[in-house]
Amino acid sequence: MRTPTANLTRTEARARSAALEVRDYRVELDLRGAPDPARPSFGSVTTVRFAAAAPETFLDFLGEVRSVVVNGREVDAADSHDGARIRLTGLRQGENEVTVVAEAAYSRTGQGLHRFTDPVDGATYLYTHFEPADSRRVFAVFEQPDLKAAFTFVVTAPEGWEVRSNQAAERVETAPPGGAGRRWSFRPTGRMSSYLTAVVAGPYHEVTGEWAAPGGGRAVPLGVLCRASLAPHLDAAEILAVTRQGLDFYDAAFGYPYPWGKYDQVFVPEYNIGAMENPGCVTFTEHYVFRSAATRAQRQARANTILHEMAHMWFGDLVTPRWWDDLWLKESFADYMGAHASVAATEFTDAWVAFANRRKSWAYAQDQLPTTHPVAADVADVEAARQNFDGITYAKGAAVLKQLVAWVGTEAFFDGARAYFRDHAFGSTTLPDLLAALEGASGRDLAPWARAWLQTAGTATLRAEVASDGDGRIARLVVHQDGVDPVTGAQVLRPHRLAVGLYALGRGERPALVRTHRLELDVTGARTEVPGAVGLPAPDLVVLNDDDLTYAKVRLDPRSLATARRHLGALTEALPRSLVWSAVWNAARDALLPAEEYLDLVLRHGPAESDSAVLAGLTLNARTAVEHYVPAGRRAAARARLAEGAWQRLEAAAPGSDAQLVWARAAAAASAAVPGSGPRVRALLDGAEIVPGLPLDPELRWSLWQALAATGAATRADLDAELERDPTADGARQHLAAVYGTPDDAVKAEAWARLLRPGELTNEQVDAALAGFAQPLHAGLTARYAEPYLGALRRLWEEHSAEIATRLVRGLYPARQDAEPGHRAEEHPVARATTAWLEANADAPAALRRLVIEERDHLRRALCAQLAAM
């Protein structure tokens, strides 16, 4: 159950910050019992020194407090701890020292200190994840980002384990008393926020290296770690190469030496997110250790994430947002820098293509929800902060920064960043601090830009109006802008520095679409003339926001849309092709382009797509379109067309190519929704059908088995046999998804019951169970859970951790519904029931209500698309 005082508010944080200056922490953790699954907790001893300006304050801790000593005086632990906060009274004006002896729980949710047992060799692995406010699950702490301090960790662990933290170990010695285990004493950190501290422990495999600053400067030790059973798959050489390239780039670009001593990167199991920027000890999901064949796009995504987290060593770690209102100050910058540094420093010079098509798609979808918010958000408490790690804070913020760079120039942007680090190193900042640094470097007043881009919500829509004269030349080209802030309802017309690309179709049997002219201009207001276009040959295709300099949805004009329908794949450059794909997908989501037409575009022009990140996105979007946006009466035919099209394109793709692998994965996923696809799928699995060059590796095999399970063409014995073939942690998760993805009412009931029982499943097991439970083909089997879902929401939110509860609220929502002809989307029974729940539960936690509102809006969008196509 959640403790009410666990949700720290901004007001409370500001008051505590005004009264305290924290000096340092010494944190002692005893992890020797971790290999024993019967041991639910570990010893935690914290000593914190701080100056106080008030006689009373509180520490944060979620666990069992054994004793509290304040300035040498022991206080009643039971009386002072309410389950979330330790009340401290009788403080001195000036220096204070508090020691808390406690028991903290091992986690299975990815929050706090997560414990994992490898089914391959039985080894136990631990790692921490604390953002935004979970260091209090491991040690007593003033849990807010602006109360920075130095941290010294002392960790006692089993013999044979490796232990890592933010700094290097000063010494490793036999642990007294009795000599059981080893005690690792780490050097003190620089001043940093508590959510950035880290401890990783277990029999990790490690590959080491070194980075030397250009010009013969300091040497930084590098480490790459993963579970021992994954060591054969660890591509440490490429990871270290990207790491050195990134450090070279940031050292020069930021003008501030890398501040954290060493640089470890640890790939950990059952991780909730892609990675976390713990200074000197970055943690990554081990999905970046590729057990199966990986496309170039997957390698690019890993490099991007490495560089994203590395940028945080400066943006976020060295200089930290004062409160979660300014979360974007670190995440938007890191997201931008991940792509920018990929292009500038690595082989992945096309990183902006994936950003334009995949990352910004996330932003556009998030920004159209009724719960959207400005990039610089209003975050009242920690629960709200958890929900703002979203497409606005990351992808939209990064796109807005790309627009800022286009406006002020790259040199001024980096000059401002260097001043920002120099002026605020090891401190905390807010938006005005950043604006002051950028204004000083650029000489521009950025307040109007910030108001338009950072302090309003919503996505602008741009469209071109093209008029031609009688000689086939442009008589007029106008850019129209429309935009409304969904939060306030006010019109928002932002300034855009953008490029307009004019494209002409060549001649011949396979004509190419090539750019003939590029016109860069400032678009302001509702209507902007493009005078430079007048007199130019009338184009076959106009690409607004060519080169992807700004953030806005683009609507194709009629001639451009007609050209895209016939010749989208003829665009010779990847970035404009990606932008046109984005435009047609947004049109499909907005019910302006029928979903079946989008599917046809993907099948017709997808084979010409050379960027595997874009192609993977297209096949995923096509499945979404078929399952959610195609009317029920035509959905089975669309499913069959998608599956057959994917199989045909798999067979036609070059052997061993990325395209072959993407189409194979798409064929497996699509086959799960097509009854009768079993023989073809099983032929590939059994080797009766061989596709030259296609690796039948664990990832693809499990996708094929899940397709067989979903269509009733696999038995439990079949699935168990595949698990014996792949008895890894990932194999167990995929097996769980396959089992719960069978069309059996009793199996669905078991999955439902296990998902709702607190502590029954780990975070990644929850994902697997949800994937199986919600197989698209089984909507009829799961329809009866719609009413129980709404009835269980409050209890579910109270009984599960925030991370697990969020997954359950989203994953169990009855989203697969069919529109009813003649009835508005809002009149659908599930939409009405959801609205009724929201009205009856106005007092529910704001974070829970936000999730339910968003799910209702996704349903409404799907129903509107279906209705528009009827």
Residue whose pair of structure tokens reads 């910004």 in the numeric block: 360
Cβ atoms within 10 Å, residue 187: 17
Q: Is the peptide bond before 692 cis (omega within 30 degrees of 0)?
A: no
Question: Is the separation of the CB atoms in 640 and 777 below 8 Å?
Answer: no
Question: Is the separation of the CB atoms in 564 and 580 below 8 Å?
Answer: yes
Q: How deeply is 8 buried, as exposed, middle or buried, from its count of CB atoms within 10 A (0-12, 13-18, 19+)?
A: buried
Question: Is the separation of the CB atoms in 487 and 457 below 8 Å?
Answer: yes
Residue whose pair of structure tokens reads 């000599």 in the numeric block: 179
Nearest Cα residue to 673 out of 642, 634, 631, 718? 642
Paired tokens of 406 = 């286009």
Read out DSSP for 755-815? HHSTTSS-HHHHHHHHHHHT-GGGHHHHGGGHHHHHHHHHHHHHHS-HHHHHHHHHHHS--
Angle between helices 763-773 and 729-740 in degrees, nearest 10: 30
Helix (H, G, I), strand (E, B) or coil at 104: strand
Question: Is the separation of the CB atoms in 429 and 519 below 8 Å?
Answer: no
Question: Is the separation of the CB atoms in 192 and 166 below 8 Å?
Answer: yes
Paired tokens of 782 = 């799961």
- As a whole number of angstroms, the distance between CA 220 and CA 83 comes to 41
Kindly name the residue from 309, 764, 803, 854 that is annotated as catalytic: 309
Handedness of CA 296, 297, 300, 302 (dihedral sign): negative
Q: How deeply is 869 buried, as exposed, middle or buried, from its count of CB atoms within 10 A (0-12, 13-18, 19+)?
A: middle
Question: Does 839 qualify as catalytic in the annotation?
Answer: no
- As a whole number of angstroms, the distance between CA 752 and CA 740 comes to 10
How many angstroms separate the Cα of 444 from the Cα of each of 267, 329, 494? 43, 19, 17
Q: How deeply is 448 buried, as exposed, middle or buried, from its count of CB atoms within 10 A (0-12, 13-18, 19+)?
A: exposed
CB-based burial, 132-141: b 16+ in 10 Å, e otherwise: bbbbbbbbbb
Amino acid at 115: R
- As a whole number of angstroms, the distance between CA 52 and CA 54 comes to 6
Q: Is the peptide bond before 177 cis (omega within 30 degrees of 0)?
A: yes
Cβ atoms within 10 Å, residue 507: 6
Phi, psi (deg, nearest 5) at residue 488:
-100, -20
DSSP designation for 626: I
- As a whole number of angstroms, the distance between CA 633 and CA 867 comes to 12
Cβ atoms within 10 Å, residue 866: 25
The number of residues in the chain equals 870
Read out DSSP for 546-589? ETT-S--EEEPPHHHHHHHHHHGGGB-SHHHHHHHHHHHHHHHH
SS3 of 247-265: the string is HHHHHHHHCCCCCCCCEEE
Paired tokens of 756 = 């709702």
Helix (H, G, I), strand (E, B) or coil at 60: strand
End-to-end CA distance of the chain: 47
Nearest Cα residue to 282 out of 242, 322, 321, 248? 242
Cβ atoms within 10 Å, residue 37: 10
What residues act catalytically?
A: 309
